[in-house]
Structure 1
């Protein structure tokens, strides 16, 4: 399946699941509150399928899978037979109306917890949170190659993804954070990452890189891919050679080689480069050559390039038993909700750019396809986050959203009567303008992040 077709497919599946649960929340509570539901539609526009149920509700799947709706009997939207007046939405008590409107976002929040639970039970394969290389702030904090990140702040980090998700908010806030580690020797230590020393502006999408951390699974093995003709390594090293040491200094990653070659060049003279070739371990003599590029500074080189590494096997799993997964899922949903509100606060105060905060359908589609390709547990985790986002978005006090209606009903509780039709009309216009602006921003970010860059 091509990336385009896969992205479209998983976007439709994701939105279909989330919208169906959201609208079912409204539908389920409305029916139990005695309100007559006229139509339950997943999607907008021309129906692709519909049927009328025994309860009189028309159930439909429409052509545009970017939302859905539940149409309830309401005197403000059409004539209602005298026998059905008591079942009209507008005739219900304010508490019933609050329950019906809140049921959609609540359904998404419950779905989020259920999806996290299923993800934890299935187990999400990942990489162990092992430091491959530490530079800059990470090195200044005392982190070293081989350290295992056990916790960032008060959040346990059993996998690299969990460690990354814990580090990013602290980096965005420029807040120093304690990191509990296990050293290669097995001792547990606590280091403090001085994230307050991060530059005022850095690439928010590469926050972990800005900290100076490279995980072990992203390190490039010191395996020769190509040898440049006419360079010192030509005729000496061969494709597939695994470089073990340079001038007696052990090599664990391709990035170790460059500094050692520079030291060797400055010292002058030949040195031994130890390699593993098949079952043999060889010591081969080479003298670096001085290279002067058309742009940039001159440097010493052997004339080798790294082999393209294969994707490493995942060596950690985020998993709980069925019972332990229940509190874990609820805790994860609560944590992610706090992080979402914190991110909204950062965007509103200008601490993060809105282009990295609001995602449009293209970004969501590509993410859904990528997560699905990593397996069921990864896709469930993304779907849980989308469900949480949809629930929180709909609770925002913006007219035309569920949160806007809830705001009207709260005002009605305080003043003892519904808000005027004029106030509701003005609110609708304001809400539509805000939603249009939000959608415009989302599409702009999509174009900027996916089509321009």
Structure 2
């Protein structure tokens, strides 16, 4: 329950910030263009807090925190007094209307730059992309990439951590091959050519890194218990934090995956565990709970988290930049995310990326909760990513989104006359249907991942 409340609160906070930025973009440019703004609302439904400024704009914080809107004076929506017609949205030149509509997504991109700029000035601590293992006969294996090597660059782009490695791989999806530079602990820097011909990303792999056959290095996970869940089998049968598991039914336990495999195969079956607790050695009988898989198969569950060894200091890097360098890096990374987002949309349409990789509000909420837990820098990075995605999504040429309005206004600019009301209305209905289907599909994916 705590995780649910934490994720929900983080989601509302993140979405509230990003929607405010997006709508403020529309609001600010509308005011500059001489359009009267009637309402600036964050959220939908019943107003919780309202106030007015001296120009007559009503500001609203509403009950349903799933979006927002800016309501402008517009003769197409309601009757406008003769003396205020020059203040209406529809009376403005088409270039002004284009600027007002485009300002929302552009505000999201500008906000991402500011977030990343701040993040790089604070300092970013990250894990170097050191390879833990390479799957036999995988693309990475065939390229000659080996365990213990560190990735230095992909297609000429330096990568400092696994996140940047993922971005670089996705940016090169569709290429025949890509040049990768690795640092080998014995041979030094080596150039490798990774074959990406016919490479696709489906929902059966965790990430692009795993898809090419690389498992990132992770510190050794011990058989010592670091956390015991409440109302779990481990708690019920007396296991404690700090216990080290050595034997299960007389079988020596040498690593954590071995222990997990035994537990998962023993739902509702008694196991005799030999543990060390301080200077004592104890035998404890434990019956793992049954936690069925998504496919309905029985799976044992103990309710513990192991203690992991510390990261080697040489595997951790900290990057901190000054005012100027941090800004230009923020611009560069934002541009990379914008480009990658559009490329991923293209890859979804061509089938190179499975639509099952789409995430909806639940996935975003989980990401928000996790990023807040990790600290300010992680939350800034998450906000920047979602801000870019929000801006790109709103630029899609669906008539119900900003991109759809821009499409109509660009057509008007070319034709020298507006698109007919009937055509626009039909487009809005189609856009609403497509948006509803996309949202439903993303929510379905979220529920399947729970």
TM-score, normalized by length of structure 1?
A: 0.77
- What's the counterpart of residue 151 of structure 1? 153
Please list the CA deviations of residues 69-117 of structure 1 after superposition, one character each: whole Å capped at 9, or x if unmatched: 1111111222222221111111111111111111111111111111121
Distance in 1 (CA, whole Å) between partners of 2:389 and 2:8 is 20
Q: Secondary structure at the match of 1:308?
A: strand
Partner of 1:405: 405
Question: After alignment, is 182-191 or 24-33 more displaced?
Answer: 182-191
Secondary structure of 2:206's counterpart equals helix
Offset at residue 228 of structure 1 (A): 4.3
Tell me which residue corresponds to 1:73: 73
TM-score by length of 2: 0.78
What residue is the counterpart of 1:167 in the other structure?
Answer: 169
Please name the residue that 2:335 is paired with: 334
CA contact (8 A) 1:128 1:315 kept: yes
Q: State how many pairs are aligned.
A: 381
Residue equivalent to 1:262: none
Q: Deviations over 1:301-337 (max 9, x none)?
A: xxxxxx9342644722343222111111111111111
Task: Note the 1:248-259 alignment, pairs <5 A.
Answer: none
Distance in 1 separating the partners of 2:41 and 2:203 = 44
Residues 81, 441 of structure 1: CA spacing in aligned structure 2 closer, same or farther, 3 A cutoff?
same
For 1:207 and 1:226, locate their aligned partners in 2 and report how far apart those are by CA, in whole Å: 36
In the other structure, the counterpart of 1:394 is 394
* Alpha-carbon distance, 1:119 to partner: 1.8
The residue number in structure 2 matching 1:25 is 25
Are residues 407 and 202 of structure 1, via their aligned partners in 2, closer, same or farther at CA, if it must alter by over 3 Å? closer
Show structure 2 runs of 5+ residues with no match: 225-243, 258-277, 279-304
Q: Which moved more, 1:335-344 or 1:441-450?
A: 441-450
Q: Which runs of 5+ in 1 are unaligned?
A: 234-238, 244-252, 256-277, 279-306
Closer/same/farther in 2, CA of residues 310 and 93 from structure 1, 3 Å limit: same
Deviates more, 1:58-67 or 1:212-221: 212-221
Partner of 1:343: 344
Paired position in structure 2 for 1:48: 48
CA distance in 2, matches of 1:184, 1:413: 60
Aligned to 1:259: none
**CA RMSD in angstroms, aligned pairs only:** 2.8
CA–CA separation in structure 1 for the residues paired with 2:198 and 2:221: 28
Name the CA distance, whole Å, in 2 between partners of 1:157 and 1:102. 32
State which of 306, 309, 333 in structure 2 corresponds to 1:308.
306
> Residues 36 and 199 from structure 1, CA distance in 2 versus in 1: closer, same or farther, beyond 3 angstroms?
closer
**How far 1:198 sits from its partner (Å)?**
6.5
| Residue aligning to 1:321 | 322
Q: Give the match for residue 14 of structure 2.
A: 14
The 1-side partners of 2:157 and 2:93 are apart by: 43
